[in-house]
Amino acid sequence: MIPLIGLAAGIVIGLVLSPTVPLWLEPYLPIAVIAALDAVFGGIRAALEAAFNDKVFVVSVLSNVLVAALIVLLGNQLGVGAQLSTGVVVVLGLRIFSNVAAIRRHLMGA
């Protein structure tokens, strides 16, 4: 429950403050957000499977964000930033889909 409240609070804070993204963060933020979303859906799925662990969740969010940022950084350094970003988004999107499908199976049995 508290994590859900945290999510809602984060959205509200973002809407109220509407901060400007710093220039150095600009390429990493979208990928980081998608990676974090992947972790959130994975956490919900783990909770429904009674396998949720706070520590694992925190570490997975942080590591997802870090790895995503690293991949983007590496891609930008190699000159294939756009392509690598697309690849990361595709992979994370697939994971989000499969997590959501698992959640749906748990809750609806279908």
Residues forming contacts to other proteins in the complex (CB under 8 A) are 1-15, 18-21, 23, 26-27, 29-30, 32-33, 36-37, 39-40, 43, 47-50, 52-55, 57-58, 61-62, 81-82, 106-109
DSSP 48-75: HTT---HHHHHHHHHHHHHHHHHHHHHH
Burial of 92 (0-12, 13-18, 19+ CB in 10 A): buried
43, 60 contact by CB (below 8 A):
yes
Q: Give me the least distance between CB of 40 and other proteins, in Å please.
A: 6
Q: Give me the least distance between CB of 4 and other proteins, in Å please.
A: 7
Cβ closer to other proteins: 10 or 90? 10
Cβ closer to other proteins: 83 or 90? 83
Q: Give me the least distance between CB of 91 and other proteins, in Å please.
A: 18
Q: Give me the least distance between CB of 68 and other proteins, in Å please.
A: 11
